[in-house]
A and B are shown apart, each in its own frame.
Chain A
Amino acid sequence: MGNNNIDAIPGADVASPPPSRNYGSFLKNNMRDYGMLMSLVVIMAFFQFMTDGTLMEPLNLTNLVLQNSYIVIMALGMLMVIVAGHIDLSVGSVVGFVGALAAVLIVNHNMDYVTASIICLFAGAAIGAAQGYFVAFFKIPSFIVTLAGMLVFKGLTLTLLEGQSLGPFPPGFQLLSSGFFPDFSTTEGLHLTSLLIGVVLTFVGVVVSLRGRARQVRNGMEREPFAFFIGKLAVIAGALVYFCYLLASYKGIPNVLGVMSVLIVLYTFVSNRTVLGRRVYAVGGNEKAARLSGIRTERVSFYTFVNMGVLAAVAGLIFAARLNTATPKAGLGFELDVIAACFIGGASASGGAGKVMGAVIGAFIMGVMNNGMSIMGIGIDIQQVIKGLVLLAAVCVDVYNKNK
């Protein structure tokens, strides 16, 4: 620890103020976080009603997860990029490029899919590093660098695929997207193993939250009133168990959900609890202050792009496995959904603020709207209009809250 043994300065002592127990003011200051969660619930309830219950059917729910996994995974990386004060427009093209690379390696060159996937992840890292280098060390605005990247990788995708679709992939590779957790039970119609995993992990999550809360209380640093904490925890835990139950009554937990969950937990931890995460927020919040505090701001920005590249590669592999073919059109427009998810999730356009859970919920809000409107038979044209307006409304609410 640093040397902070200076004597107290003379004068009246400042008593430790009691933590605020005022529910109203707490709710007002944290409207964003609860509002997000509530919007997701309201939107799901709305579509559940409008689609006569189709939305929450096990089959549809499974599809919802499969359709949105790659958006959620990329939103994790995009959040880091946005928090650091940048943007990455190239992720959609990188998804396409990595899919094409995987197809060329596996289908054309008969490489085994594990090696090919690892090569693809490294390719993603290299792409991120290249773009990050120009942004961080060359000081070219990320908007321009990644706009260029978007064009470059779209072009390279076409080159790799020679303008045609390439497939199919071997069954093992497809399992990445279409596989489910194996089931060892014999119960008819219900995948008990999946349900069990869901329940156990939810229980572990609840225990970890409670212990974290206890530790905060011991140090007098809890921010959230107890009633809100318990209420939120109960709602989320209940929703997770119910969600797993629904999935279990179809084919069980999809492999992709496993990958996604692990990444969400990992990124939540990195952003909240690690030195690196803290630095990303500091750089985005005030780059000059961060630099004068000894943080190598260029390096931090660089890492966020490398990370984004890897996650875009993961998404690219999942997407290719899901389609079972690599097409030149893969990933088209993904960047818009990913960026929208982050902003709907409360990330600040000027950097320095945004939460991993927010981006995940933002991605699911987009996903549920896509899915619900499609079931309702709303045309793709109107869907775009509505999604655009929702994005604008979410950010307006943010700005309004901030100025209040």
Chain B
Amino acid sequence: MHGIRKTFPGVVALDQVNLRVRTGEIHAIAGENGAGKSTLMKVLSGVYPHGSYSGDIEFQGKVREFADIRDSEEVGIIIIHQELALVPLLSITENLFLGNEQASAGVIDWHAAHARTRELLRKVGLNESPDTLITNLGVGKQQLVEIAKALSKDVKLLILDEPTASLNESDSDALLNLLLDLKAQGISSILISHKLNEVSRVADAITVLRDGNTVYTHDCHAAPISEELIIEKMVGRQMESRYPHRTPQIGETIFEVRDWRVFHPEHAEREVVKGINLRVRKGEIVGIAGLMGAGRTELAMSIFGHSYGRRISGKVLKHGQEIDTSNVSRAIRHGIAYVTEDRKGLGLVLENDIQTNISMANLAGVANGLVIDEAREHEVAEDFRKKLKIRCSGVLQKVLNLSGGNQQKVVIAKWLFSGPDVLILDEPSRGIDVGAKYEIYSIISALAAEGKCIIMISSEMPELLGMCDRIYVMNEGAFAAEFDAAEASQEKIMHAIVNHGEQHGQQ
């Protein structure tokens, strides 16, 4: 791939990206969240069709112009996404040949299909009956089915997007060994992974992406991988003054979480949050850093009214007193608010107007008894519109038509109106342009200056370093490290994540 450039409205996602993968090579791609790894792979596999990006894709000596995924699959490029694309209630065989049925004249030849399935399952080392339903397989085995599906299509280049993110150690091992086997058969792979220990085990070359550019390519046969170097390349961007100046006035500890444990809502044996201890002082902004899937959102939502997970245990304390946050209205009553990362899905009623959305979490605040006082509701919304500078044609406008930044302000307004003491912000600047980000940061600092406790979850490390007084680093459901703002750096945070991941691996 040469000089790939891909833009989305308002953002350049990829610019001047070059990537060379040789036949029979495992090529790793590393980079922070949002560096453009997934976008690049979508360009390569035809999800973003030819014409929506600039630059050339060359495969087996020829320039290719893929119009869709089918085109790229035809020449043998197959992508396995982070979220698996299997139909849970169909069998392995049915899934393997979905869209590629072993049929003549529209009638499926189940004998041939089962025979092929057995052969493919043997190749990927999965010892299951072809009739097993996908839903009865673990995530690791489902990955193998995905790979078998790729093999059924005569794959030449296999792209795996964070394949081991949700796998345990032995499943990850099996998967990596399979990649090595495939390599021996001449099948190339592109492996997107955060886990540098895995990468160093199997990769022949590593390309590092940062802010949509290829910044570094490392040939593992020429020199051994240096984690230091890779991390430096991943995070080595200049910190700009994109954050409002603030002089923190930090008081006593107000909010505390002790030994918080949460299990996955569906896979009951999987512990998603593993004994977290957290405290926030008055006027303090505490950051939670970590990679995607580290369990940060799960931690926040489980604290906020047990909105995620089950078998939740641990204590939540405010002013040293244990409080009951076991449902959302109780959590709100105790002054906790959670600004979700998914504002469209979980934060707003898009079809409703700004005013209605702002009052949603505190209807009692705009009502006399059971009757809503629309004038008061309007006044409240107007007040927030001015204070938070929500740009709109009026508070009666539908939130559907607002920009991301203004929608986020509406969500924040909703929670401020509920009168919180502890505000949990999950990816508060995601999907927002730079100008609006500054405004959101200003709001956050103003709230901290007022003496509220702020917990800020973010995947953007510069944002955490620019805003927070203290940063917890979360990895695989546990806190791997805690830094004061003064001593924290992107390298230290990355190290903490990588080291924690490796220690966890050795256990």
B62 within 8 A of A: no
The answer on a CB contact under 8 Å between B394 and A14 is: no
Q: Closest CB-CB distance, B178 to chain A, in whole Å?
A: 38
**How many angstroms between the C-alpha atoms of A10 and B396 in the bound complex?**
24
Contacts of A17 on B, CB cut-off 8 Å? 392-394
| B372 and A289 within 8 A (CB) | no
B window 346-381: CB within 8 A of A: 346-352, 356, 359-367, 370-372, 374-376, 378-380
B390 contacts A288, C-beta separation under 8 Å:
no
Nearest CB on A from B466, distance (A): 16
CB of B416 within 8 A of CB of A4, answer yes
Instruction: From A50-58, A60-68, A230-238, A273-281, give the one contacting chain B.
Output: A273-281
In the assembled complex, the CB of B268 is this many whole angstroms from the nearest CB of chain A, namely: 18
Inter-chain CA distance A19–B331, complex, in Å, is 38
Cβ A223 vs Cβ B349 within 8 A: no
Indicate if A377 sits at the interface (CB-CB under 8 A): no
CB nearest neighbor in A for B439: A9
Interface pair B394/A19, CB less than 8 Å apart:
yes
- Any chain A CB within 8 A of the CB of B328? yes
Q: Per a CB cutoff under 8 Å, which of A223, A275, A293, A295 touches B367?
A: A275
CB distance from A308 to the nearest CB of B (A): 20
Smallest CB gap from A276: residue in B: B370
A16 contact set on B, CB distance < 8 A? 382, 386, 394
**How distant is B503 from chain A, measured CB to nearest CB, in Å?**
35
Evaluate contact between B328 and A292: CB separation under 8 angstroms.
yes
Contact A274 B439, CB 8 Å, known A13-B386, A289-B348, A296-B329: no
Which of B40-48, B69-77, B443-451 contacts its partner? Answer: B443-451
- CB contacts (< 8 Å) of B359 on chain A: these are 278
Q: A352 and B446: CB pair below 8 A?
A: no
> Which A residues, 1 to 45, have Cβ-Cβ distances below 8 Å to chain B?
1-11, 13-14, 16-17, 19-20
Q: A2-B365, A279-B363, A296-B329 are in contact. Are A219 and B378 (CB under 8 A)?
A: yes
CA distance A3 to B421 in the complex (A): 9
B391 contacts partner chain A, Cβ-Cβ < 8 Å: yes
Query: Does A215 count as interface, using CB distance less than 8 angstroms?
Result: yes
Please state if B351 and A353 are interface contacts (CB–CB under 8 Å).
yes
Q: Across the interface, do A6 and B439 meet the contact criterion of CB distance under 8 Å? A: no
Complex CA gap A179/B271 in Å reads 68
A275–B372 CB distance below 8 A:
yes
Asked if B54 CB lies within 8 Å of chain A CBs, one says no
A223 near B396 with CB under 8 A, answer: yes
The residues of B that contact A281 with a CB separation of less than 8 Å are: 349, 352, 356
A379 sits at the interface (CB 8 A): no
CA distance A283 to B365 in the complex (A): 19
CA A276 – CA B365 in complex, angstroms? 14
Out of B345, B372, B390, which one reaches A274, CB within 8 Å?
B372
Q: What 0/1 readout, one digit per residue, does chain A (251-283) give for beta carbons within 8 Å of chain B?
A: 000000000000000000000011110110110
The complex places the Cα of A294 from the Cα of B304 at a distance, in Å, of 10
Residue B389 is within 8 A (CB to CB) of chain A in the complex: yes
Q: Is the CB of A285 within 8 A of B329?
A: no
Assuming the A-B contacts A9-B388, A14-B385, A290-B349, are A278 and B356 also in contact, with contact meaning beta carbons closer than 8 angstroms in the complex? Answer: yes
Q: Inside 8 A of A4's CB, which chain B residues have their CB?
A: 380, 383-384, 387, 413, 416-417, 419
Asked if B332 CB lies within 8 Å of chain A CBs, one says yes
Task: Determine whether the beta carbon of A274 is less than 8 Å from that of B349.
Answer: no
Do the beta carbons of A273 and B372 come within 8 Å of each other?
yes
Residue from A1, A14, A353 in contact with B380 in the complex, judged by beta carbons closer than 8 Å: A1
Q: Is the CB of B418 within 8 A of A352?
A: no
B18 near A: Cβ within 8 Å?
Answer: no
Contact of A382 with B by CB under 8 A: no
**For the complex, is B66 an interface residue (Cβ under 8 Å from A)?**
no
Q: B370–A274 contact, CB under 8 A? A: yes
Name the A residues within 8 Å of B304 (CB-CB): 292
Contact, CB under 8 Å: B414 / A293: yes
Chain A interface size, as a band, is: 35 or more
Q: A6-B447, A9-B388, A289-B348 are in contact. Are A1 and B328 (CB under 8 A)?
A: no
> Does B442 touch A at the CB level, under 8 Å?
yes
- Which A301-317 residues have a C-beta within 8 angstroms of B? none
Q: How far is the CB of B360 from chain A (nearest CB, A)?
A: 5
CB of A349, distance to nearest CB on chain B (Å): 13
Q: A residues 167-200 with Cβ under 8 Å of B?
A: none
Known: A8-B386, A288-B346. A293 touches B416 (CB 8 A): no
Which B286-332 residues sit within 8 Å CB-CB of chain A? 304-305, 307, 327-329, 331-332
* Cα separation A369 to B395 with both chains bound (whole Å): 40
A11 to B371, CA, bound (A): 37
Query: Which residues of chain B (327-345) have a CB below 8 Å from chain A?
Result: 327-329, 331-332, 338, 340, 345
- B417 adjacent to A274 (CB under 8 Å): no
Chain B residues within an 8 Å CB radius of A11: 389, 439, 442
Asked if B332 and A215 make an inter-chain contact with CB atoms under 8 angstroms apart, the answer reads no
**Contact B382 A9, beta carbon cutoff 8 Å:** no
Q: Do A294 and B367 form a contact, CB below 8 Å, given A6-B446, A9-B439, A221-B378?
A: no
With contacts A219-B375, A221-B374, A294-B329 taken as known, whether A288 is within 8 angstroms of B384 at the C-beta atoms is no
The CA of A160 and the CA of B362, in the complex, are separated in Å by 48
| Interfacial chain A residues near B374, Cβ < 8 Å | 221, 273
A291 at the interface (CB under 8 A from B): yes
Structural contact, B443 and A275, CB atoms closer than 8 A:
no
Inter-subunit contact A288/B345 (CB<8 Å): yes
- Please report the C-alpha to C-alpha distance between residue A358 and residue B380 in the assembled complex, in whole angstroms: 29
Q: How far is the CA of A8 from the CA of B387 in the complex (A)?
A: 4
Mark out the residues of chain A between 328 and 357 whose CB falls within 8 Å of any chain B CB in the assembled complex: 352-353
| B residues 175-202 in Cβ contact with A at 8 Å | none
Q: Please tell me if the beta carbons of B328 and A293 are within 8 angstroms of each other in the complex.
A: yes
Render B430-447 as a binary contact track against A, CB cut-off 8 A, 1 for contact: 000000000100110011
In chain B, residues 453-499, which have Cβ atoms closer than 8 Å to a Cβ of chain A? none
Note all chain B residues with C-beta closer than 8 A to A292: 304-305, 307, 328, 338, 340, 346-347
A401 at the interface (CB under 8 A from B): no
Partner of B390, one of A14, A285, A295: A14
Q: Which residues 11-37 of B have a CB within 8 angstroms of A?
A: none
Distance between Cα atoms of A365 and B442 in the complex (Å): 54
Assess the A7–B446 pair: CB atoms within 8 A. yes
A286 at interface (Cβ–Cβ under 8 A)? yes
The listed residue with most B CB atoms (<10 A of its CB), out of A5, A9, A281, A285, is A9
- Of A10, A19, A20, A215, the most chain B CB neighbours within 10 A belong to A10
Of all chain B residues, the one with the shortest Cβ separation from A8 is B387
Q: Do the beta carbons of A285 and B351 come within 8 Å of each other?
A: yes
Q: Which residues of B contact A294 (CB under 8 A)?
A: 305, 328-329, 331-332, 361, 418
Please pick, from B349, B365, B439, B450, the residue contacting A1 in the complex, using a CB distance under 8 A: B365
Given A16-B382, A292-B328, 10 additional A-B pairs, CB 8 A: A2-B380, A6-B443, A7-B450, A9-B439, A16-B394, A281-B352, A286-B346, A290-B349, A292-B346, A294-B305
Give me 18 A-to-B residue pairs in the complex whose CB atoms sit less than 8 angstroms apart, sorted by A's number: A1-B417, A4-B413, A4-B417, A4-B419, A6-B387, A6-B447, A16-B394, A218-B375, A220-B378, A223-B396, A273-B371, A273-B374, A289-B349, A291-B328, A292-B328, A292-B338, A293-B360, A296-B329
Closest 5 CB pairs of A and B: A285-B349, A3-B419, A2-B419, A294-B329, A293-B361
